[in-house]
Homo-oligomer: A and B are copies of this chain.
Amino acid sequence: MKIAIAQLNPTIGDLTGNALQILMAARAAEQQGVRLLLTTEISLCGYPPRDLLLDPGFVDSMAASLEQLADDLPPALAVLVGFVGRNDSSHFQGGKPIFNSIALLEQGKVQQTFHKRLLPTYDVFDDKRYFEPGLESNSFVLDDVHIGVTICEDLWNDEEFWGRRNYAVNPITDLAELGVDLIVNLSGSPYTVGKQLLREAMLRHAAVRYRRPILYANQVGANDDLIFDGCSVGFNCVGDTVCRARAFESDLVVVEFEQRDLQLGSVALMPESEDAEIWHALVLGVRDYTRKCGFSKVVLGLSGGVDSALVAAIATAALGQENVLGVLMPSPYSSEHSIHDALALAENLGIQTHTLPIGELMQGYDESLAELFVGTQFGLAEENIQSRIRGNLLMAISNKFGYLLLSTGNKSEMSVGYCTLYGDMNGGLAVIADVPKTRVYSLCRWRNSKGEIIPASILTKPPSAELKPGQVDQDSLPPYDVLDDILQRLIHEHQSAAQIVAAGHKPIIVDRVIQLVARAEFKRRQAPPGLKITDRAFGTGWRMPIANKWVSGMGSGGASLGSFSVPSTELALQNVGASELLLKLPD
């Protein structure tokens, strides 16, 4: 029996367009003699539909689209399509009104439906907000082959593999006990760095443990902050990889099931390195967000720094040089080399630039505020004005010409708040908001290894916001390798201050970084969606209170903060909603 995986790129809520994609894949599969076609989780509406699921009209339309699709598909092909099923008994028995479901379509009809059993409710996942879990094992028989059906999380609860249980039940064990010949999994599993290695280790473990072949179909494409990498894959019952779809691209993979096992087919290569993987993920993220929101061109500020250089390079790869506009907005504090570096970058990329000096606008604000600010020192208020002038100019261009504004802040600065709200944070999409500064450099080097486009001086000069004379980032922040290691431990590994210090960091630095992360919450709350590439990104999976006295790893804030002798006005300023102050770190 020939089985195919349609690794497609749906747009959320585009029922007609997504059904058409499935239909075209089905016709291509039929021509190759395929008997069973797999799509991915909720393939008809795309994953994740979020609160569209609360709209009864949306659920009704999806049911109608499913019927129509069943009618349109080649009748002799069996197709598994993800949709949203109704839980008709919820009214009387309690529970959510819908299921996360799969329909088996064949001969113009819905032959059978299956419901997702394990509902992830962590990180970006809110499955229990919407869905009732299925309680039964899901399987069907096709041409004497007994096939077990699972949906995404159903496969992620192997206590042998994880060393702990996440859910009371294990749908894979249940299917093995049912004696199925093959297990299929239809997923909407977002990309994070290195995740495919983890998935394949887990799938291999399950194939070997239960001596069953497994076919894993994953969505591809980006939807808002989430990038889906595809990488659909199959394992035979001794744990060999028998097929793999391409990473970060739509694909149709065909594999043979014979002699009660999957046979070796086409195995696409994985990206060569983590940097390659992240690069392709971000390129896909920019392309899909731009396209799915109805834009064709983007604009961004080019400072001559490494962050905007990387974002410009990614945008150019995603959309083509003719669709990227770089804007230089030098101030009197901008260095000659910054302007030169930005122009050299643009020339290498072949993108258009405009230069809009902001000195006179800075003077205008100074004059407007002179009376009110009389007797005060140049400080963060004045630094932020510069960043907000630039933000305003970029939005004016965006509004005037209909270009999507990309923001260029990295994860290190988003973590500690080294960025200006309503200034450099402006944009429809924050391309590298989940990329730590050290990774920004390694991505640039990786890209340059394929042909130098980012001028070397951008990678070698000390990073600076250039908001006052002679300023460099390391006036206010520890070196980025130190900062990024502390952030990794704090944010990803939930380490306490004591644990981070035990790893070799200075206590004063650790405490300051922890405080800065807590206090920057108000900025992150107003940030644009950022493309997620790690297991803990700011955004939909990060839900922190703002008015909050707990400082992670340091206990209730009051006392700890006092011990650093920070003036209380500065603390208040940083705490919420009003200021972009950073504590100056002592030497």
Question: In chain A between 113 and 135, which residues have their CB closer than 8 angstroms to a CB of chain B?
Answer: 121-122, 126, 128-129
Q: Does B94 contact A165, Cβ atoms closer than 8 Å? A: yes
A392, CB-defined interface residue at 8 Å? yes
Contact A546 B51 (CB under 8 A): no
State whether the Cβ of A16 lies closer than 8 Å to any Cβ in chain B: yes
Say yes or no: A581-B52 contact (C-beta < 8 A), given A361-B361, A365-B392.
Answer: no
- B395–A384 CB distance below 8 A: yes
Known A12-B545, A578-B428; judge A165-B400 contact (CB<8 A).
no
Q: Given the complex, which residues of B lie within 8 Å of A397, measured CB to CB?
A: 369, 372, 381
Do A368 and B356 have beta carbons less than 8 Å apart? yes
* Residues of B with C-beta under 8 A to A223: 545, 547
Q: Which of B164, B361, B573 makes the CB contact (< 8 A) with A92? A: B164
Closest to A165 in B: B94
A97 to chain B, nearest CB (A): 10
Interface residue? A575 (CB, 8 A): yes
**CB-based contact A368/B393 at 8 Å:** yes
Contacts of A17 in B (CB 8 A): 549, 556, 558
Q: Contact: A400 with B427, CB < 8 Å?
A: no
Name the B residues within 8 Å of A368 (CB-CB). 356-358, 360-361, 393
> What is the CA–CA distance of A402 and B376 in the complex, to the nearest angstrom?
13
Contact present for A580 and B14 (CB under 8 Å)? no
Give A546 to B50 CA distance when docked, in angstroms.
10
Please tell me if the beta carbons of A528 and B577 are within 8 angstroms of each other in the complex: yes
A384 lies within 8 A of B372 (CB)? no
CA distance A167 to B579 in the complex (A): 45
Q: Name the CB-closest residue of B to A367.
A: B360
Q: Which of B166, B388, B548 contacts A94 (CB 8 A)?
A: B166
The reply to whether B545 and A293 form a contact with Cβ atoms under 8 Å apart is: no
B392–A553 CB distance below 8 A: no
Q: Which residues of chain A from 414 to 444 have a CB within 8 Å of any chain B CB?
A: 421-422, 426-429
Also in contact, A168 and B94, with CB within 8 A (given A361-B361, A549-B17):
yes
0/1 string, A365-388, CB within 8 A of B gives 1:
101110011001001111011001
Inter-chain contact B494/A56, CB cutoff 8 Å = yes
**A543 an interface residue at 8 Å Cβ cutoff?**
yes
* Contact (Cβ within 8 A) B528 A126: no
Q: Which of B55, B294, B382, B550 touches A576 (beta carbons < 8 Å)? A: B294
Q: Are B93 and A558 in contact (CB under 8 A)?
A: no
Question: Which of B93, B405, B525 is close to A528, meaning CB atoms less than 8 Å apart?
Answer: B525
Q: Are A422 and B426 in contact (CB under 8 A)?
A: yes
A295's nearest neighbour on chain B, judged by CB, is B572
> Is A293 a contact partner of B547 (Cβ separation < 8 A)?
yes
By a CB distance below 8 angstroms, the chain B residues around A168 are: 93-95
A579 touching B361, Cβ below 8 Å: no
A522 interfacial contact with B, CB 8 Å: yes
A398 → chain B closest CB, angstroms: 4
Is A49 an interface residue when CB atoms closer than 8 A count as contact? yes
Report how far A14 CA is from B547 CA in the complex, Å.
10
Number of copies: 2
CA of A558 to CA of B372 in the docked complex: distance in angstroms? 51
Chain A interface size band reads 35 or more
The reply to whether B550 and A14 form a contact with Cβ atoms under 8 Å apart is yes
B547 contacts A581, C-beta separation under 8 Å: no
- Do the beta carbons of A224 and B545 come within 8 Å of each other? yes
Known: A12-B549, A428-B522. A365 touches B393 (CB 8 A): yes
What residues of B have a CB within 8 angstroms of the CB of A57 in the complex?
494, 496, 552-553, 555
- Docked CA distance A548–B293 (Å): 7
Given contacts A552-B57, A556-B15, contact A577 B428 (CB under 8 A): yes
Q: Are the CB atoms of B369 and A11 closer together than 8 Å?
A: no
B residues in contact with A82, CB < 8 Å: none
A270 to chain B, nearest CB (A): 27
Residues of A241-277 whose CB lies within 8 A of B: none
Cβ contact within 8 Å between B547 and A292: yes
Within 8 Å by CB of A376, from B380, B400, B555, B569, lies B400
For A56-90 the 0/1 string (1 means CB < 8 A from B) is 11100100000000000000000000000000001
Inter-subunit contact B380/A578 (CB<8 Å): no
Greatest chain B CB density within 10 A among A14, A52, A368 is at A368
Roughly how many angstroms separate A525 CA and B12 CA in the complex, as a whole number? Answer: 17
State A550–B392 Cα separation when bound (angstroms): 31
CA of A381 to CA of B67, assembled, Å: 45
Give residues 489-504 of A contacting B (CB, 8 Å).
494, 496
- A62 closest partner in B (C-beta): B550
Known pairs A52-B548, A494-B56; A373 contacts B399 (CB<8 A):
no
- A571 on the interface (CB 8 Å rule)? yes
A5-25 contacts to B, CB under 8 A, are 11-17
Residue of B nearest to A376 (CB): B400
A-B residue pairs in contact (CB < 8 Å), sample of 9: A13-B556, A293-B577, A295-B577, A296-B572, A356-B368, A361-B365, A376-B400, A399-B573, A402-B573
Q: A54-B494, A92-B165, A365-B396 are in contact. List 14 more A-B contacts (CB 8 A).
A: A17-B558, A50-B543, A128-B128, A292-B549, A356-B368, A360-B367, A376-B400, A379-B399, A384-B399, A385-B392, A399-B580, A402-B569, A403-B578, A427-B577
User: Which A-B residue pairs are the 6 nearest by beta carbons?
Assistant: A428-B577, A13-B550, A293-B576, A14-B549, A94-B165, A294-B572
